[in-house]
Amino acid sequence: MPGVPLFPPQASTIAGEVDALYFFLTAVAAFFSLLIAATIVFFAIRYRRRSNAERPPEIEGSLALELVWTIVPLILVTVMFVWGAQVFFHMNRPPDNSMHVSVVGKRWMWKLQHPTGQREINELHVPVGRPVELTITSEDTIHSFFIPAFRMKKDAVPGRYNTAWFQATKTGTYHLFCAEYCGTEHATMIGRVVVMEPDEYQTWLAGGPVSESPVKAGERLFVEMNCATCHRIDSPGRGPILHGIFGKPVKLVGGETVIADAAYLRESILNPAAKVAAGYQPVMPTYQGQVSEESLLSLIAYIQSLPAPVGGR
Ligand code: CUA
């Protein structure tokens, strides 16, 4: 619905879908609100009591009426559910070819990092027509990463990784807001998203200061924090080898299985005793308080980048 006043521009692939559903829900709600209000007024006048002696006839019920007001709402809410679920799944399944950007909320700013290492604060530059997957977390309290023109909003929750994605369809500059009250400077926790042509984006990437990519930073931290002592491919088996484990199931001491996703790796760095891999002792020290959210994201990016060893191990 371009041109509707009070609505932000539609600048992502999902925006049209979200708006269509939103307008449908609003139209249904408005139609029935008006219908009920008008019926109340009409009945109040039409069936008002005209004298003290008036005794209206008794009503025994009506099967036809019961069926209508059961089946019509059932159809309407079923449409809402199925349609809503479709949009929900589309919004929550980042395409496989997405470019990965990490987002860390902090009172009162957004810290973002590109896969090539460039860091930004309260600004995000992205190429048009390319899906961008965001891993969103917070260093302190709950924030919410909101880009109205993309119809995309996701909470940044401390201790948790939330995923969101968008694909911008139009170049331009769009608002970025924090949509969760997070303290006195909440209202200033705003920024902008700059959508550029792919070649302009490449120029922009090349123009910034050269920074370490998350994978490179993770590799450095892996050595600095002595992870390599136990987890290197030639280490003497004190800790699990991390090559090729990302996204794969891990068998735990207790017998259950978890997927080695970003959340599991994060937990295993901060609270190693929580879910120990089968065949290992809970000897790893905790890194709680010693590693920043950005370093954690780098370590995870590094582990994700490790190829599975040839021949398997
Ligand atoms: Cu961060 Cu509101």
Asked whether the predicted pLDDT for residue 272 surpasses 70, the reply is: yes
Nearest ligand 1 atom to alpha carbon 142: 1
Query: 185-209 burial, b for 16+ CB within 10 Å, e for fewer?
Result: ebeebebebbbbeeeebeebbeeee
Question: In the block, which residue shows the tokens 């190829």?
Answer: 307
Residue 311, pLDDT score: 59
CA–chain centroid gap for 209, Å, is 29
Helix extents (H) in the chain: 15-46, 63-92, 198-207, 214-224, 227-231, 262-270, 293-305
Ligand 1 close to Cβ of residue 181 (< 6 A): yes
Nearest ligand 1 atom to alpha carbon 143: 1
For the segment 240-253, what is each residue's pLDDT rounded down to a tens digit?
888 888 888 988 88
For the segment 9-26, what is each residue's pLDDT rounded down to a tens digit?
999 999 999 999 999 999
Ligand 1 close to Cβ of residue 143 (< 6 A): yes
In percent, the amount of the chain with pLDDT more than 70 equals 96
What would the mean pLDDT of 72-80 be, rounded to a whole number? Answer: 96
Specify the pTM. Answer: 0.77
Cα–ligand 1 centroid distance for 182 (angstroms): 4
pLDDT band at 224 (very low <50, low <70, confident <90, very high): confident
pLDDT band at 313 (very low <50, low <70, confident <90, very high): very low
Residue 185, pLDDT score: 93
Ligand 1 close to Cβ of residue 185 (< 6 A): no
Q: Ligand 1: which residue has its CA nearest to atom 1?
A: 143
Selection from 272, 276, 271, 265 nearest residue 300 by Cα: 265
Q: Which structure tokens are listed for 165? A: 């994605």
What would the mean pLDDT of 99-106 be, rounded to a whole number? Answer: 93
Residues 6+ apart with CB under 8 A from 254: none
Nearest ligand 1 atom to alpha carbon 187: 2
- Report the distance separating Cα 102 and Cα 266, nearest Å: 14
Cα–ligand 1 centroid distance for 192 (angstroms): 15
What would the mean pLDDT of 40-69 be, rounded to a whole number? Answer: 90
Cα–ligand 1 centroid distance for 144 (angstroms): 6
Cα–ligand 1 centroid distance for 156 (angstroms): 9
- More confident position, 242 or 82: 82
Question: In the block, which residue shows the tokens 């926790």?
Answer: 189
For CA atoms 131, 154, 190, 213, the dihedral sign is: negative
Ligand 1 close to Cβ of residue 111 (< 6 A): no
Ligand 1 close to Cβ of residue 217 (< 6 A): no
Asked whether the predicted pLDDT for residue 153 surpasses 90, the reply is: yes
Ligand 1 close to Cβ of residue 152 (< 6 A): no
